[in-house]
Amino acid sequence: MTTLYVGLVGTIFFLVLTIFSLFNKRFGLFVGKWKYPLSIFPLIVFVYILSTQLYIIFKGNGCSYAERQDFIQPDNFSPNKESGILLLFINGFGNCQVTVTMDNKKVYSGESFNNIFAIVLPPDSGKVDEILMSDKVSRIPGKMRFVINPGKLTYIGSVNNSKGLLGLLIPGVACKSADVTYDAFSDSLSAILTSWVHSNRLILTSSIKKQLSELRNNYISASQFAGLQFGYLPFISTSINGKVQTMAPDEVIKQYKKYEFLVNNH
């Protein structure tokens, strides 16, 4: 949106300057021997910048978060819209190109920005075909299914770079070991989901619902042992990325409390 504002302000300023130079004789003397006012060229530049951004405000299906960040908030996306939003968090891979194919064979693509990929789509089922990293070579397998509902946001989950810095240095390794989960990697990302829950407009995929149900069952079991020290006795639980692992009851309870708002949503 910054580019849009720069183009708008620049266009208005040099348009006023051009009109003023054409109708003010004293200012016209500053132009000298030039056939056209000196402000014509910068006016053309800023009009071009504005034209490349202005369409985004009116763009419907295919508009991505990288192009326009404000629609990710429910207050800025009308519940009466015919389209919906697909949301995917991508952590530790930089800005990626994501390709989405709907069941009607229409293909949409866009870039992630600040760990967020969101795109406006028509109401239909579809799948994420692939996630292309910034090197334009390494790909994270997609095949993540989803359903878009009018006026609502569908959260499909998160893709996490489990290798950290090593994964960025060796993209192929990171792509093969990428974790697909529903974990929101920061408070700001959780806040996005929370805002859609509060507006009763958040849609979760069936795979996320399944993992949330397992988390709730683990929480019920862990609550019976909270505060006890087991020592040698492990507590087997399913983590938020679907992996069975040994976890302390307190860890399970903490994890549940973090995502309780999602559990209650479905």
Per-residue pLDDT reduced to its tens digit, 115-136: 999 999 999 999 998 888 877 7
pLDDT-based confidence at residue 102 (cuts at 50, 70, 90): very high
Q: Between 2-23 and 40-58, two packed helices, what is the crossing angle to 10 degrees?
A: 140
Tens-place pLDDT, residues 250-261? 777 888 888 888
pLDDT-based confidence at residue 168 (cuts at 50, 70, 90): low
Residues 225, 41: Cα–Cα separation, whole Å: 73
Q: Which residue has the higher pLDDT, 48 or 234?
A: 48
Residues 257, 105: Cα–Cα separation, whole Å: 40
Q: Which residue has the higher pLDDT, 187 or 119?
A: 119
Residue 5 has pLDDT above 60, yes or no: yes
pLDDT-based confidence at residue 151 (cuts at 50, 70, 90): very high
> Which residue carries 């069975």 as its tokens?
244
Domain ranges of the chain: 2-58, 70-204, 209-265
Residue 163 has pLDDT above 70, yes or no: no
In contact, 207 and 227? CB cutoff 8 Å: no
Residue 196 has pLDDT above 50, yes or no: yes
pLDDT of 232 reads 35
The alpha-carbon radius of gyration of the chain (Å, integer) is 25
| Average pLDDT estimate for 77-86 | 90
- Closest among 239, 244, 234 to 259, alpha carbons compared: 239
pLDDT of 158 reads 86
Residues 92, 99: Cα–Cα separation, whole Å: 18
Residue 41 φ then ψ, to 5°: -65, -50
Average model confidence (pLDDT) across the chain: 76
In contact, 14 and 46? CB cutoff 8 Å: yes
Residue 184 has pLDDT above 90, yes or no: no
| Average pLDDT estimate for 102-116 | 91
In contact, 113 and 65? CB cutoff 8 Å: yes
pLDDT of 172 reads 61
Residues 263, 21: Cα–Cα separation, whole Å: 64
70-204 has which CATH code?
2.60.40.10
Q: What is the DSSP letter of 203?
A: E
Q: Could you tell me where the beta strands, DSSP code E, fall in 52-151?
A: 84-91, 97-102, 107-111, 116-121, 125-132, 139-147
pLDDT of 175 reads 66
| Average pLDDT estimate for 215-242 | 61
Q: How far apart, in Å, are the Cα atoms of 249 and each of 87, 174, 184, 254? A: 31, 31, 21, 9
pLDDT of 230 reads 45
pLDDT of 51 reads 58
Residue 218 has pLDDT above 70, yes or no: yes
Q: Which residue has the higher pLDDT, 118 or 18?
A: 118
pLDDT of 56 reads 44
